[in-house]
Structure formats: C-alpha cells, structure tokens
Amino acid sequence: MYIAELARALCFEVPMRPVPLLALRLPQLERIAWREGKRAAQRLERSAARAFLKGARQSLRSGDLLAHDADSDVFVAAALAAPRNADGCERMPTALDCRSALSRIAAGMSIATGLSIETGWTLVRKIERESDLATEVATALERGLREQERYEFFATVGHELRTPLTSIRGYLETLLDGGVDRSTARRFLQTARREALRLGRLVDTMFEFSLLDLSSAPLDATVPDLSRTAAAACEIVSQTASARGITVLNRTQSVSLGGLDEDACLQALVNLLDNAIKYGRDNGTVQIGMERDGPFVRIAVEDDGPGIAAVDRDKIFGLRVRGAGTERPGTGIGLAIVRMIAERAGGEISVVESSLGGAKFELLLPVRAESATAAS
C-alpha cells in the first residue's frame, strides 16, 4: 500500500477511534544515494522493504495496514486490528504493544540492511487529508528520538540517585523504629518513607526505560482510582504548599485508568503539582481537576502564577529545559518525566493558559478499557 492510500484509509478509521501509527526510517539512505549512487540506495531500500514486510507480518495482526513509497526512506504501519486480552476480548493496543512491534521490525530491517533504523509511534486522533499523515509520521519519529535521548539520560540519573535514596531510607527507618511520639511528626516521616520507597521503584523503572526492557511493563497495568492517587499526590506536596501559604484543591473524581501503573501516575501528578506550587503566587491557589474526553481522561493542574509564554510551551517538556526568565530552583527534568509517562501510556501532555491567571497543564491518559465500556 502507498502512503497516500493509507492516509485515505485513516480518514475513515480515525473518527471512530484513535489509531496507533508506527513509523520507521532509514536516515542514512539519502547519504548512500549521494555517495554510492541511486542504485545502491534502491537496493538497500528494497532489502529494507522486504524485511519490513516480514517483520510486520510476524509482529502485527492481519488487519493492520502497511505502507511504503518507492524511493522513500519511511515505512509506516497503522495498528487497526484490536489485540485481545487473556479472556479473548478485544482491547486497545498499548504503548507496550507498539514499542515491542517496532523493536522487532526495526531489528530485522537493521540486520537486512546493516543500517541504523529510527523508530517512533503516535496515536492518530485526527486526520482529514493526505498531508496530515506526513505530519503524524514526523511526530512519531520525533517522539522516538526524544525517547532514545531519555533512555540514555535516565540511565545516568538512576545511577546517581541510588546511593542517596538508600541513605534516606535507612535514616527514616531508624527514626521510625526509635518510637517518635508526636503523631504529626510520625505521619510526616511515614510519608517521607513512602516517597523514598516509591522513588526507589522509579529508579528501577528508569533503568528499564534506558535498556528498552519491553517485557517488564505489565499488559494489565492500571490506576484503580484516580481520585485516591490525586489525594496521595496532594498529601505529598502539602508541606511545600503550606510553606508558601498555597491552598491545593483536589477536584478529581473516581475513575480507573489503563496503560500505566499507580506509581507512574502518582509521579506525574506530584511533578505537575510541585511545578504549579513552585511557580504559583504566595498565598495563592493550585487546583487539580479532571474531565472525560472519549476513551481518555483529561487531568488539569492549574496555578495562578505568571504563566508560560506561548513560545516556550513546547520547549518546556524537553530534558533540562526550563521556562525563559525563571528564577526558581529546579533541575529541568520534572516535566520531561511527565511527558515520558504520558507518552508511554498512549496519552500526551500540553500546557495552555489557566482561568486562574497562570499555567494549566493538561495530562491526557487512557481510561481502563472496562471503565470506558461501562461508561459508554
């Protein structure tokens, strides 16, 4: 199938449901054509096409669509056929499904050509004309490059965090075993200990991300109750908020999420709340709310600070990138982690202007399949 034909097919499919789009690219093909001639590049392209077709047949389902244009370095697959869970029921493809398929297909293409393969995936939610598909493919490949950067970065960060986390956990356990009488102090210590344990699990997850350990993520990962997880996140940031006189309002509701576990969801919410508290006004307000958006939940974290300039709204989710003119302390990785979590779950993160006057971060996450079916 040609890519234009795939675009026309998606114009009919996407309005009914989001479609995972897998993209692969041979970035060295153009250079080979320039150095060794067009015929040499075409031979490699044909080898890549055969390997792409073979890998896709082994990794994807018969109802999925494949596309590639002659003399192009891009190969595309649309995951239209729904996979099935252990009970034989259809479910939405997960981030794990997409990455696993991409990894296997890319490995075969790399062996066949001897070239490195760029990969990435995205969820197509809107496509109205053929040119939109090229934009989606570019988005998928850009996401893949960002993920590779994150894998390397988190491998380094994880190594640096292990030693202090072990020390924090040891000191907290000693204090707890010593029998602290003041109940409030003990509650704070228990919260800190819980955070140390959770961050320890996060370090392990960082290493899994960096090593592309696709088998480690469970297929049935869920967040049983978003409101409970949001309440835990508000508790974690409560001391930071109180120090600046900031009121944190939790307006979320009970709903189950899919595609990520509770630790990952908690980490994302804590990072967003911590960011809102950091940049909000003294004695101001930060709030977290939610609304349903089809098979997704849109979680909004808002503050009443200075907001984020439109020119910076895409940049701030990059690693070690911070908003222009900010004087608040920080490492510049908190929002990058949120984007990583959202994208691995098949969602996304964006920022707009808040009605409170500051920034409004919108975290889009998938509803657990059973919950979405019940709601519909």
The angle subtended at Cα 229 by Cα 301 and Cα 312, nearest 5°, is 25
Identify the band that residue 12 occupies on the pLDDT scale cut at 50, 70 and 90.
Answer: confident
Q: Does 134 lie in the same domain as 26?
A: yes
User: What is the span of the domain harbouring residue 48?
Assistant: 3-140
- 188 and 219 in contact (C-beta within 8 Å)? no
| CA–CA gap between residue 239 and residue 218 (Å, rounded) | 33
Given a cut of 70, whether residue 201 has pLDDT beyond it is no
How much is the pLDDT for 212?
35
How much is the pLDDT for 15?
77
* Beta bridge pairs of residue 90: 84
CATH number of the domain where residue 126 is located: 3.30.70.270
Q: Among 135-139, 183-187, 220-224, 338-342, which is the least confidently predicted range?
A: 183-187
How much is the pLDDT for 304?
92
Q: Does 133 lie in the same domain as 273?
A: no
Sheet strand arrangement including 296-302: 247-251, 285-293, 296-302, 359-366, 348-353
Identify the band that residue 372 occupies on the pLDDT scale cut at 50, 70 and 90.
Answer: low
Whether 129 is in a domain gets the answer: yes
Whether 180 is in a domain gets the answer: no
Q: Does 356 lie in the same domain as 246?
A: yes
Between residues 361 and 122, which one has the greater pLDDT?
361
Identify the band that residue 216 occupies on the pLDDT scale cut at 50, 70 and 90.
Answer: very low
| CA–CA gap between residue 37 and residue 29 (Å, rounded) | 10
Given a cut of 50, whether residue 316 has pLDDT beyond it is yes
Given a cut of 80, whether residue 241 has pLDDT beyond it is yes
Whether 262 is in a domain gets the answer: yes
Q: Does 243 lie in the same domain as 130?
A: no
Q: Which helix (H) or strand (E) holds 1?
A: none
How much is the pLDDT for 156?
57
Between residues 172 and 59, which one has the greater pLDDT?
59
Given a cut of 90, whether residue 273 has pLDDT beyond it is yes
Given a cut of 50, whether residue 101 has pLDDT beyond it is yes
CA nearest to 226, candidates 297, 302, 301: 297
Structure tokens at 256: 């189950």
Q: Does 8 lie in the same domain as 108?
A: yes
Sheet strand arrangement including 74-78: 65-68, 74-78, 19-25, 118-124
Whether 146 is in a domain gets the answer: no
Identify the band that residue 349 occupies on the pLDDT scale cut at 50, 70 and 90.
Answer: very high
Q: Does 97 lie in the same domain as 229?
A: no
Whether 91 is in a domain gets the answer: yes
Q: Does 229 lie in the same domain as 375?
A: yes
Q: Among 84-93, 133-142, 186-195, which is the least confidently predicted range?
A: 84-93
Given a cut of 90, whether residue 343 has pLDDT beyond it is no
Whether 189 is in a domain gets the answer: no
**Distance (Å) of CA 210 to CA 41, 205, 360:** 32, 9, 30
Write out pLDDT tens, residues 120-177: 998 888 888 878 888 899 989 988 888 777 776 666 566 556 646 765 676 677 667 7
Mapping DSSP to helix (H, G, I), strand (E, B) and coil, where does residue 186 land? helix
* Beta bridge pairs of residue 367: 257
Given a cut of 50, whether residue 219 has pLDDT beyond it is no
How much is the pLDDT for 76?
93
Whether 20 is in a domain gets the answer: yes
Answer with the one of 140, 174, 207 that is the final residue of a domain: 140
Tally the domains of the chain. Answer: 2
How much is the pLDDT for 346?
83
How much is the pLDDT for 330?
47
Q: Does 349 lie in the same domain as 249?
A: yes
Average pLDDT of the segment spanning 349-357: 91
Identify the band that residue 111 occupies on the pLDDT scale cut at 50, 70 and 90.
Answer: very high
- 20 and 121 in contact (C-beta within 8 Å)? yes
How much is the pLDDT for 256?
92
Burial class for 183, CB neighbours closer than 10 Å (0-12, 13-18, 19+)? exposed
What one-letter code names the amino acid at 340? M
Answer with the one of 74, 106, 140 that is the final residue of a domain: 140
| CA–CA gap between residue 128 and residue 11 (Å, rounded) | 6
Provide the CA 177 distance to its chain's centre, in angstroms. 38
Given a cut of 70, whether residue 27 has pLDDT beyond it is yes
Average pLDDT of the segment spanning 220-234: 88
Whether 67 is in a domain gets the answer: yes
Identify the band that residue 55 occupies on the pLDDT scale cut at 50, 70 and 90.
Answer: very high
Identify the band that residue 19 occupies on the pLDDT scale cut at 50, 70 and 90.
Answer: confident
| CA–CA gap between residue 226 and residue 297 (Å, rounded) | 10
How much is the pLDDT for 211?
43
Instruction: For the beta carbon of residue 249, count every other beta carbon within 10 angstroms.
Output: 11
How much is the pLDDT for 3?
87
316: DSSP letter: G
Mapping DSSP to helix (H, G, I), strand (E, B) and coil, where does residue 261 land? coil
Given a cut of 70, whether residue 205 has pLDDT beyond it is no
211: DSSP letter: T
| CA–CA gap between residue 74 and residue 80 (Å, rounded) | 19
Average pLDDT of the segment spanning 279-292: 93
CATH number of the domain where residue 353 is located: 3.30.565.10
Average pLDDT of the segment spanning 294-306: 93
CA nearest to 120, candidates 82, 74, 69: 74
Answer with the one of 140, 168, 196 that is the final residue of a domain: 140
- 295 and 367 in contact (C-beta within 8 Å)? yes
**Distance (Å) of CA 267 to CA 198, 255, 272, 314, 348:** 9, 18, 9, 21, 15
